[in-house]
């Protein structure tokens, strides 16, 4: 393996991490600014919409990362955007059908993109888990306060 593929892999990894971290940071900041002050007043429907909105934002973010890798594949490996995007998406999602393969000097990028995709999806799942945990905790806390207020009125 020559130095050029290693350098390209390093650049793709750094750009992926920067894009993913910036996107997740923006999502977290939005959630803190918009959601945190009102979270105890969310109805179940509003909480569900919030989770869907967050999931859509995360999916778009993953799409951008897939597009980043596809741009590289299109410029160096494949004659069409369709093949480049297909290979990138199947590698990132760790599906890896094997019906499209990279040229020999770039073959290590496929598994590298897969490992990166697993890591980035893990980070995304953590954000959604934290959001749902916060929604459940605030709902439980809010219900307990309502029960305390209700029982104090009866006394």
Question: Quick one: pLDDT at residue 150?
Answer: 57
Contact residues for 9 (Cβ-Cβ < 8 A; gap 6+): 108, 109, 112
Are 9 and 105 contacting, i.e. CB atoms less than 8 angstroms apart? no
Q: Using pLDDT thresholds of 50, 70 and 90, give the confidence band for residue 152.
A: low
Question: Quick one: pLDDT at residue 39?
Answer: 78
pTM: 0.85
- Looking up tokens 């410029």 gives 75
How many Å is the maximal CA-CA distance in the chain? 80
Instruction: Give mean pLDDT, residues 66-89.
Output: 97
Domains within the chain, CATH numbers bracketed: 47-146 (1.10.287.70)
Q: What is the pLDDT of residues 112-150, one digit of tens each?
A: 999 999 999 999 999 999 999 988 887 665 555 555 555
The token pair that represents 140 in the structure block: 């439980």
């Amino acid at each position: 393996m020559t130095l050029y593929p290693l350098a390209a892999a390093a650049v793709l990894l750094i750009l992926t991490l920067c894009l993913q971290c910036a996107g997740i940071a923006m999502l977290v900041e939005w959630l803190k600014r918009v959601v945190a002050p009102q979270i105890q007043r969310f109805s179940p429907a509003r909480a569900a919409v919030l989770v869907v909105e967050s999931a859509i934002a995360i999916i778009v973010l993953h799409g951008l990362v897939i597009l980043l890798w596809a741009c590289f594949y299109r410029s160096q490996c494949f004659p069409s955007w369709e093949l480049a995007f297909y290979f990138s998406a199947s590698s990132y999602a760790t599906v890896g059908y094997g019906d499209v393969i990279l040229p020999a000097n770039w073959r290590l990028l496929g598994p590298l993109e897969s490992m990166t995709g697993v890591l980035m999806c893990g980070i995304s799942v953590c954000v959604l888990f934290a959001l749902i945990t916060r929604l459940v905790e605030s709902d439980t806390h809010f219900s307990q306060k309502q029960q305390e207020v209700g029982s104090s009125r009866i006394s």
